[in-house]
Structure formats: structure tokens, C-alpha cells
A and B are shown apart, each in its own frame.
Chain A
């Protein structure tokens, strides 16, 4: 009964094997009991049968399964469609088939991870685009000032923020830096930018804007995170510049009359550190003459490192300003500083976001100095 359950190949092999055994038995019987030599044709048939049987088994059990595996492997390696190999064998062929199946299973997982990573990268790009849309893409024209802002993020979503907000009587210019960079920093930067923009519409005082922004941001910020900001307020009619610091970097002021750059402490306390910063911040005035510069920056500039791990530092930044401010306008000075930082960093990756805003006070007769220059820090590595 077992015989009938077998497939055709097994039946044929069994019949073949049975005939082979019968011939062998006959040969043995005739040689030992009848003492007759085995006829040549019997030996010949036995040999042919034996060889055929061996070849058939070898082809069916070794060559064919191996060929199937090789075909699937070739498909896998050439990027064509492939499928897993079904085998119940526990010999070497079975091991190779099992190994192949494991490989394609792993490849499937890797392929999924790559697709997932691609999706995440696409989402990060969207976040990056949203962030870029929030930051001003062009430097606006402001009566009495030439403003050139440039920004370069260290990752897809950066923690540096800046904006130039024009209201009825004033222009507010701020630069801010959230601890770290990446998605969390980018989200806080987005929140702060929205709050400053909204409060700038509601209040004419830089002090009130920073106070109210801190009050709202403190509720949503993680304990280990904060954002340093310095906000300048330019009174268009009075041609008066004031600032409020919230724990940000120094404000550099280059005075043409003395040909020297001074560093003013922005003061205050970073946003998100205390629930109420009203007693820790103060609004101060910066008196400017025509041609004087005010430079705002994020720590990505001063903490840029070279291949020897040295910091670019405040002293180097001041020296660069002193070097180029006498001969350049805001656009040129911004470019020269960026060029100097990039040259210093040569061979070292950018670790942090960089923002650089150069503002020059213009004489009353000049209204517009720079028209629609882009804010993206491009062309320099």
C-alpha cells in the first residue's frame, strides 16, 4: 500500500531498485549455488541499471534542488523577484535552503527598515521645510537699517531661530538658540517664534514680548531645555535701537568713529528657566551713529571647532569684525565673517546651528540698502 502512496519518481526508483536487487540476487545465486559464471549481458544490464539509477538519484536529489536554490539566489542578487525555498530535508541541501530562507527573511526586515527610514527622512524634510518657512527667507528692507541675516542648520531640524518682524512703528529683530538641535529643539524654536511674532503684534515693548514669551514657553518646555534669545527693537520714527537679552550671547557693536568692536552682555535669563523673568530682564538702549554695526549670532559661530578641536571663540569673531567692518557694508561683513568661520572649520564638521545677523545703521537719506537677499547660508562649507 505504501508503494501506491509514493509519487511517480519514487515509484520508478523503487521499481528500478527492485529490478537491480533481483538481478543482483540472481547473479549471486548463479555464481555461488549453480557454480556458473554470471553471463556478461547480466553484468552489463546490472552496470547500466546501477549507473542510471545513480545518475537519476544524483540529479533528482542533488542537482535539481541545488539548481532551484541557485536560480533563487541569482534572482535575489540581480534584483529580480525571488521566493523562499520549501524543503523538508535535513541534509546539506536542506541547510542551504534554510539559510537562503533566513537570508531573504532578514533582507525583508532590512528592506522594511530602509523604507521606514526613508519615510522618517521624508518627514524630517517636511519638518525642515516648515521650519525654513517660519524663518524669514529674505532679508526685509527696513527704514534706517540694513539687515543681513544668514542661517545654517546642523541637522534637518535646527534649534536656532531668528526673525525680523515689522509692526506699525517698530521693527523687532531677534536671534535665539534652543539647547541642542534636532526635532525637540526645532519644536521649541517654532513655539518661541510664534509667541514672539504674536506678542510683537500685541505689544510695542521688547521687554513685554520677552516676559510674556517666557511665561508661556515655561509651561511647555522640558526641564533640561531652554532657549536663549536677544531681541532688538528698532523705533522707525525715533531711529532708536533698544534690546532685551534672555541669556543669549554677546551683542557686538562696531563703532565707525573709534574703529573698534565692543561686546555688550545681553543679560537676562534664558527662556524656560524660571516661570517669571520680569525681575531678571531689562530693556537697554544702544546708541548708534550712521554706519555703525550691530552683530547678533548664535553659539554655533563662537563654538565652531577646527580640526585641532580649538573653538572659534568670541575674540576671533571680534577681530574679524574689526578687520572687515571699516571696508564693507552689512552684506559684505556678514559674508566675510561667514567665510572666516568656514575657513577656520575646514576639515571639521558643523556641530551646531549657525545664525549670523549683521545690522548697519544707515543715514536718514538712505531707505533701502539691501533688497531681498536670501537668509540661507549657502555656498560656504
Chain B
């Protein structure tokens, strides 16, 4: 079933690029937005890329795989990558798979800056 209840926007702050995700990140949303997100990440050359998951209510396994791909890519480029504001249900999924052992997660953007 094709779903369109996902969107994202970006903002630049303190030399960081913040992606604000809203809705359900499933395989349809991922395939629709992946190219655009890749373009933005490829063209970024500053300090850190932050994924704000405060409004993200669901993430599927393929999207988690995509997070790992981004993490590996940014690691090679020497750019930090972090998740902020992850909801409990999404955090449970990420924790279960063990991804938070690899990608740091913070309660909010301020906490990330202070870290």
C-alpha cells in the first residue's frame, strides 16, 4: 500500500545541517526521498549532520540500513552524524537492532551541542 504520510525539511544551524523528519519512514518514503537526502548530504562539507526524529513515528529496517550507510559515508568524510529527539517507540526499534551503539543519539539539539 503506497503511503505519503512522510516529509522532511532542512535547516542550517551552527555549521550543522539539520534534517527534520515528520511521519513514517517506510520503504516507499525512503525510495521517494532518498535521492534528495543523498544530494544534500553529498554537498555538505561542514561540521555535523543531525537527523531530528522528534516527529518521526515509525522507521522500517531498510531505512535503518540507510542510516548505517549515511553514518559510514560521513565517517569517511570526517563529518559527525547524530540523531536527536528520537521517540520512545522508534528508539526501541533502533535499540533492538543495536544501531545506537554505532550512531549517537541525543534528547535534543542543545544536548548534542553541549556534548
Asked, given contacts A179-B61, A226-B68, whether A270 binds B1 with beta carbons under 8 Å apart, the answer is no
CB neighbours of A280 from chain B (8 A): 98, 101
Which B residues, 25 to 77, have Cβ-Cβ distances below 8 Å to chain A? 27, 60-62, 64-66, 68-69, 72-73
Contacts of B69 on A, CB cut-off 8 Å?
223-224
> Which one of A29-37, A137-145, A245-253 is at the B interface?
A245-253
Once the chains bind, are B65 and A247 in contact (CB under 8 Å)?
no
One of A201-209, A236-244, A261-269 at the interface: A261-269
| Interface residue from A179, A180, A270 paired with B98 (Cβ < 8 Å) | A270
Chain A CB within 8 A of B110 CB: no
Contact count A vs B, C-beta below 8 Å: 66
Tell me whether chain B's interface is mostly helix, strand or loop, or mixed: helix
The smallest beta-carbon distance between A373 and chain B, in angstroms, is 29
List residues of chain A with CB within 8 A of the CB of B1. Answer: 305, 309, 348-349, 351
CA distance A47 to B36 in the complex (A): 79
**Which of chain B's residues have a CB closer than 8 A to the CB of A270?**
97-99
Interface size, chain A (Cβ < 8 Å): 29
Instruction: Report whether over half of chain A's contact residues are helix, strand or loop; otherwise say mixed.
Output: loop
For residue B9, CB closer than 8 A to chain A, the reply is: no
Task: Give A244 Cβ to nearest chain B Cβ, in Å.
Answer: 12
CB distance from A279 to the nearest CB of B (A): 9
Asked whether B113 is an interface residue with its Cβ less than 8 Å from the other chain, the reply is: no
Known: A248-B96, A249-B96. A273 touches B102 (CB 8 A): yes
Contact between chains at B96 and A179 (CB < 8 Å): no
Could you say which of A248, A303, A349 contacts B60, with CB atoms under 8 Å apart? A303
Indicate whether A299 reaches chain B with its CB closer than 8 angstroms.
yes
Is the CB–CB distance between B102 and A179 below 8 Å?
A: no
Contact indicator B96/A266 (Cβ below 8 Å): yes
Question: A180-B27, A223-B68 given as contacts; is B102 within 8 A of A269 (CB)?
Answer: yes
Q: Please state if A179 and B99 are interface contacts (CB–CB under 8 Å).
A: no
Contact for A225 among B60, B65, B96, CB less than 8 A: B65
Residues in A256-304 with C-beta less than 8 Å from chain B? 265-270, 273-274, 280, 299, 303
Closest chain B residue to A311, Cβ basis: B58
| B3 at interface by CB-CB < 8 Å | yes
Q: Are A247 and B98 in contact, with the CB atoms below 8 A? A: yes
Asked whether any CB of chain B lies closer than 8 Å to the CB of A233, the reply is no
Q: Tell me the bound Cα distance from A180 to B97 in angstroms.
A: 14
B37 to chain A, nearest CB (A): 13
Interface set of B (CB-CB < 8 Å, partner A):
1, 3, 27, 60-62, 64-66, 68-69, 72-73, 95-99, 101-102
Q: A226-B61, A269-B102 are in contact. List 17 more A-B contacts (CB 8 A).
A: A179-B62, A223-B69, A224-B68, A226-B64, A246-B98, A247-B97, A248-B96, A249-B96, A265-B95, A269-B99, A270-B97, A273-B68, A273-B102, A309-B1, A309-B3, A348-B1, A349-B1
Interface of A toward B, CB cutoff 8 Å: 177, 179-180, 223-226, 228, 246-250, 265-270, 273-274, 280, 299, 303, 305, 309, 348-349, 351
